[in-house]
Amino acid sequence: MNIKDIAKIAGVSTATVSRVVNNKQGVKDDVRNHVKKIMEKYDYTPNLVARGLVTSKTNVIGVFVPRFVDYYSPRLDAIMEYCNKENYAVMLAGSVGKFEGNVKSLNTLYEKQVEGIVYFVGKFDDENINLIKKISSKIPFVLVDQTIKNVEIPHILPDNYEGTRKILEYMYECGHRKIAFIGSPVYDIEGENRFKAYIDFMKEKDITPDKSYYRYSGKYSIKSGYFTAKLILEENIRNRPTAILAANDFMAIGAINYIKDIGLSVPKDISVAGIDDVPIASYYNPRLTTVKQDQYKIGKEAVKLVFDMIKGDKVKIKKIIMEQELIVRESVKMI
């Protein structure tokens, strides 16, 4: 049942049906009602693919998510909400474990004519970067969590350097000097910022932690936090840190699990802090002291930026830095 069928049955032209479907003016009320009745009777549904072809507006935006972890949930919520409001649909892409899928998946988004893309970065390689360059030169593209060196792309970045300093400052105020650090993957520029903040901070406080006190080999997962904590603590049995900062909440939770497994307790024996403030953080036991990235807001700003670019005539590169806020809860104690 298509627009032609309806037109024929209703005894009008397709143009008139189209006007009715799109609630456009210039149709007499009785004709409009008549057409509407026919559409209803025959369960007519407009084919938005066809419409998209002629208007070259698909009303779809693309979202790339490396994998589904709770970290992204509030962001996706924000995006869905915004898109619902704007009458856009969301098309998903993601690698889901396999790095190789990234390029193909992102390209598909583009080929399917999405009008803009929000890209939550997992990792990059050159192939990826080239594709991003190409796509971002043709349609609105917003990068979240990461930037690309020497390439101007609108992006939203949490202020990881300052955020990390804030939580370290707090730990320091709580009397901690022996602070270990569970860092993030080496491919992650922003992760490096967190690590850099740690190194800088310690230096400023005239503390020189042993090299075995910090590792930046974590993978942002609970498991990797567990094993990195194990690595650090096993190497420092005689010189146990009083506190551990993990580069994200999941790794902090992993560390807490390990500490519990060796019969110690957080924060009684060792304090642990995270970064991100994922949804579970405030309900974990102990409630996690962390640094809040307002994920919902990040998601919202990201889509908003895309829509600004879709609507606006001139697309000027925007860069948004999101401040991070110290969230004091239970997992770091005063010593």
Partner DNA sequence: GTGAAAGCGCTAACAA
Partner DNA sequence: TTGTTAGCGCTTTCAC
Contacts (Cβ under 8 Å, ≥6 apart) of 233:
240, 241, 258, 259, 262
Pairwise CA distance, residues 182 & 303, whole Å = 31
Q: Give the type of residue at 16.
A: T
Q: Does 112 bind its own copies (CB under 8 A)?
A: yes
What number of H helices and E strands is found in the chain? 12, 12
Shortest Å distance, C-beta 285 to its own copies = 4
* From DNA, its own copies, none, interface partner of 312 (C-beta below 5 to 8 A by class): none
Among 18, 110, 148, 162, binds its own copies (CB under 8 A): 110
Query: If you search the block for the tokens 């490396």, which residue do you land on?
Result: 66
Among 15, 48, 317, 335, binds its own copies (CB under 8 A): 48
Q: Which stretch binds its own copies (CB under 8 A): 81-89, 116-124, 184-192, 239-247?
A: 81-89
* Span between the terminal Cα atoms of the chain, in Å: 73
Q: Which stretch binds DNA (CB under 7 A): 5-13, 71-79, 153-161, 277-285?
A: 5-13
Q: Which stretch binds its own copies (CB under 8 A): 74-82, 140-148, 154-162, 168-176?
A: 74-82
Q: Are 35 and 13 in contact (CB under 8 A)?
A: no
| String of contacts with DNA for each residue 53-92, x by CB under 7 A | xxxx------------------------------------
Shortest Å distance, C-beta 7 to DNA = 7
Shortest Å distance, C-beta 95 to its own copies = 8
Residue 15 CA, chain-centre distance (Å), reads 43
Q: Tell me the number of residues near DNA by CB under 7 A.
A: 27
Q: Are 196 and 204 in contact (CB under 8 A)?
A: no
